[in-house]
Amino acid sequence: MEQFDLIVIGSGPGGYIAAIRAAQLGKRVAIVERYKTLGGTCLNVGCIPSKAWLDSSERYHETVHSHALHGIEVSDVKLNMKKMSERVAKVVEGITGGVQFLMKKNKITVIQGHGSFKDKNTVVVAGKDYGFTHAIIATGSKPASLPGVTVDKERVITSTEALKLVDVPKHMIVIGAGVIGLELGSVFKRLGAKVSVVEFADSCIAAMDVDMGKEIQKVLKKDGMDFYLGHGVTGVTRNGQEVTVKAKNKTSGEELVLTGDYCLVAVGRKPYTDGLGLENAGLKADERGRIPVNDHLQTAQPHIYAIGDVVRGAMLAHKAEEEGVFVAEVIAGQKPHLNYLLIPGVVYTWPEVASVGHTEQELKEKGIDYKVGKFPFLALGRAAASNEKNGLIKVLADKRTDEILGVHMIGPRTADLIAEAVVAMEFRASAEDIGRISHAHPTYSEGFKEACLAATENRALNM
Ligand code: FAD
Ligand code: NAI
């Protein structure tokens, strides 16, 4: 039986990064992946293809709707969805091929097939046993559904199928105004579909700071997206090419009936451990399907770790990556650190939404005394030059010490701007610290400085 220091099950951003870090630290590593291509949800049917679609659809939308404003007259603009989807597929092919290259470069053995624990020191793949000293479960997640909703993968679809559509839907009904609902809803809206979003909560992206949800809804609504918030979906039926979504207004009890040609179910994701043979290794998933782990990401078997979407916490690629590096270093006897509070979250709509640290709701719940500094993009020279009038940056700082406790941004390129806030918070900066640092002019980053000044003593300079 072939023996490894470490076997990683699953090649998503958690698994493949863990494998690379362990190999860098001198371990003999194997990675098991059930699909032919490496990279997991993120690279194959998640982050990368969705961002590729967002980019292409934004270019199309800009060409049709915004170029004229800049004095660029274009006529006869044609959308070639087939070509657009081929580009997305090429991007995925390139990036997953890159992971294959990285495995080779780091001398990591790739075992293709479904991995399953035979016992607590053996994984079996395609009938062959592989022994391990340590293992990392990085099997990720799958789309969740709702009672009364059958995902047929043709007309009632999840993000996986939505990313492969080659025709623009006439009317796409999206269930869930979370991250996937807003990102993919934006893609199809930009390409010309009517998009209706039905959401149980009273706001969009409800897990983020409340001002972000309000602002993104306002902008997307102005762009023509319809929202039915406070509505719980009760059922979805399909009749030929037509889908009907029924929902109940949770306050009035009134029934909402929407008819379209596609229904995108985007109500969250669930951990994936099917056929993993957890019981053979003496492990058990919890009631939500997650693998329980301690602060070192060890399972009930201390030499078996679990990371990424299959364990508690945010289902984000960079969270999975941080956990992968963390575990590889723990296995190698190092003492790494991981600060979950400072894992940023981004929604790649336009404007983009980005956030790190505590939300205002959380600070209220925890009874922490805080102050708020806000700065609108409208007041920035760089935003005016680019006609980016929507959005704001909101800084929450400790009322007594001025330490930054949370930063929430909605506006142009905030997905990249948030990095400064993460660094500031990692080094426990005060709002005034940032307010006293020079930021190039004119840049969007000045908005963060101004919001910090606003939080310090209400001393924003350009407002
Ligand atoms: P996964 O990426 O799910 O990988 C798990 C891998 O394990 C899979 O390849 C699976 O085939 C394999 N596997 C499972 N069981 C077995 C087995 N028994 N044997 C062998 N192999 C197995 N996150 C972001 O941070 N930014 C984004 O922009 C973003 N966009 C997203 C867009 C969409 C549409 C979706 C669906 C998700 C998005 N995410 C994004 C979330 C991100 O994709 C996940 O958080 C991330 O992929 C989790 O990584 P992971 O390594 O835990 O698992
Ligand atoms: P989500 O948790 O973001 O949103 C699901 C939404 O569905 C919630 O707002 C919820 O209230 C709503 N919902 C649930 N039941 C409902 C019902 N019966 N009727 C109406 N609405 C209902 O989950 P989503 O968007 O599916 O994304 C899954 C995961 O993928 C997220 O955890 C996210 O972290 C990750 N992801 C991350 C991205 C990013 O980082 N940019 C992009 C896409 C996905």
| 243-280 per-position pLDDT tens digit | 999 999 999 999 999 999 999 999 999 999 999 999 99
> Could you tell me if residue 462 is inside a domain?
no
Q: Looking at the predicted structure, is the pLDDT value of residue 457 above 90?
A: no
Our count of domains for the chain comes to: 3
Q: Which atom of ligand 2 is nearest to the CA of 204?
A: 9
The number of the ligand nearest the C-alpha atom of 7 reads 1
Query: Is beta strand 29-33 parallel, antiparallel or unpaired with respect to 109-112?
Result: parallel
Atom of ligand 2 nearest to the CA of 176: 7
The phi-psi region of residue 49 (left if phi > 0; otherwise alpha if psi is between -120 and 50; otherwise beta) is alpha
- In a shared domain, residues 297 and 244: no
What is the average per-residue pLDDT within 442-452?
A: 98
CA distance 291 to 163: 28
pLDDT tens per residue across span 147-181: 989 999 999 999 999 999 999 999 999 999 999 99
Ligand 1 pocket, residue 139 CB under 6 Å: yes
Rounded distance, CA 301 to CA 119, Å?
11
Cα 382 to averaged position of ligand 2 atoms, centre (Å) = 32
| Residue 44 and residue 102 share a domain | yes
pLDDT at residue 349, rounded to an integer = 98
Question: Are 96 and 126 contained in the same domain?
Answer: yes
Average pLDDT, integer, range 289-311: 98
Where does a domain end: 215, 234, 267? Answer: 267
Among 340, 366, 384, residue at a domain's last position: 340
* Mean pLDDT over the full length of the chain: 97
pLDDT confidence tier of residue 296, bands split at 50, 70 and 90: very high
Please report the pLDDT score of residue 315 as a whole number. 98
Residue 215 and residue 390 in contact, taking contact as beta carbons nearer than 8 Å: yes
In a domain, 334, yes or no: yes
Q: Is 345 part of a structural domain of the chain?
A: no
Contact 10, 33 (CB under 8 A): yes
pLDDT at residue 459, as a whole number: 86
pLDDT digits (tens, 9 = 90+) for 12-56: 999 999 999 999 999 999 999 999 999 999 999 999 999 999 999
Going from the C-alpha of 136 to that of each of 22, 39, 293, 325, 455, the distances in angstroms are 11, 16, 12, 11, 43
Q: Which of 182, 197, 199, 263, when mutated, tests ligand 2's pocket best, judged by the most ligand atoms within 8 Å of its CB?
A: 199
Instruction: Check whether residue 172 and residue 183 sit in a common domain.
Output: yes
Same domain, 133 and 170: no
In a domain, 16, yes or no: yes
Structure tokens at 72: 């660029």
460 within some domain:
no
Pocket test for ligand 2, best of 163, 203, 205, 269 (most atoms within 8 A of CB): 269
Does one domain contain both 13 and 139?
A: yes
CATH of the domain at 413: 3.30.390.30
Ligand 2 midpoint to CA 108 (Å)? 34
Is the pLDDT reported for residue 107 higher than 90? Answer: yes
**Separation of 179 CA from ligand 2 center, angstroms?**
5
pLDDT at 180: 98
pLDDT per residue as tens digits for the range 188-237: 999 999 999 999 999 999 999 999 999 999 999 999 999 999 999 999 99
Please identify, among 267, 288, 321, the residue that sits at the C-terminal boundary of a domain: 267
The contacts found for 252-257 with CB under 8 angstroms, 24 or more apart, are 256/198, 256/228, 256/231
Tokens, residue 57: 């659809």
Mean pLDDT of 82-110: 98
Inside any domain, residue 20: yes
- Give the contacts of 443 (CB within 8 A, at least 6 positions apart): 382
Q: Comparing C-alpha atoms, which of 225, 252, 323, 264 is closest to residue 16? A: 323
| pLDDT the model gives residue 458 | 83
Residue 366 scores a pLDDT above 90? yes
Indicate which CATH number applies to the domain containing 122: 3.50.50.60
Query: What's the CA gap between 169 and 258, in Å, rounded?
Result: 15
pLDDT tens per residue, range 367-425: 999 999 999 999 999 999 999 999 999 999 999 999 999 999 999 999 999 999 999 99
Q: What is the CA radius of gyration of the chain?
A: 23
Residue 37 CA to ligand 2 center (angstroms) comes to 25
CA atoms of 26 and 20, how far apart (whole Å): 10
Non-local (6+) Cβ contacts of 403 within 8 A are 397, 428, 429, 430
For residues 50 and 190, state if they share a domain: no
Q: Are residues 179 and 310 in the same domain?
A: no
Report the pLDDT value the prediction gives residue 437, as an integer from 0 to 100: 97
Q: How confident is the model at residue 59 (pLDDT cuts 50, 70, 90)?
A: very high
Give the range of the structural domain holding residue 426, as residue numbers without chain letter. 351-455
Instruction: Dig out the tokens for 341 from the structure.
Output: 């509070």
* Closest ligand (CA of 271): 1
Q: Which residues pair with 352 in a beta bridge?
A: 411
- The mean per-residue pLDDT over the stretch 305-330 comes to 98
Task: Say if residue 223 is in the same domain as residue 315.
Answer: no
The residue whose C-alpha atom lies closest to atom 43 belonging to ligand 1 is: 42
Among 306, 456, 436, residue whose Cα is nearest residue 395: 456
* 151 is a domain residue: no
Evaluate whether residue 201 is within a structural domain. yes
Give me the pLDDT at residue 42, please. 98
**Cβ count near 364 (within 10 Å):** 11
Q: CA dihedral in degrees (143, 146, 152, 158; nearest 10)?
A: -30
221: CB partners within 8 A, 6+ apart: 227
pLDDT at 337: 95
Give yes or no: residues 78 and 112 share one domain. Answer: yes
Look up residue 126 and give its amino acid: A
Residue 51, pLDDT score: 98
Instruction: Identify the nearest ligand to the CA of 204 by its number.
Output: 2
Q: Are 79 and 167 in contact (CB under 8 A)?
A: no
Count of CB atoms situated within 10 Å of the CB of 100: 15
Are 256 and 274 in the same domain?
A: no
Say how many Å lie between the CA of residue 339 and the centre of ligand 1: 21
Q: Are residues 237 and 280 in the same domain?
A: no
**Does 463 have pLDDT greater than 90?**
no
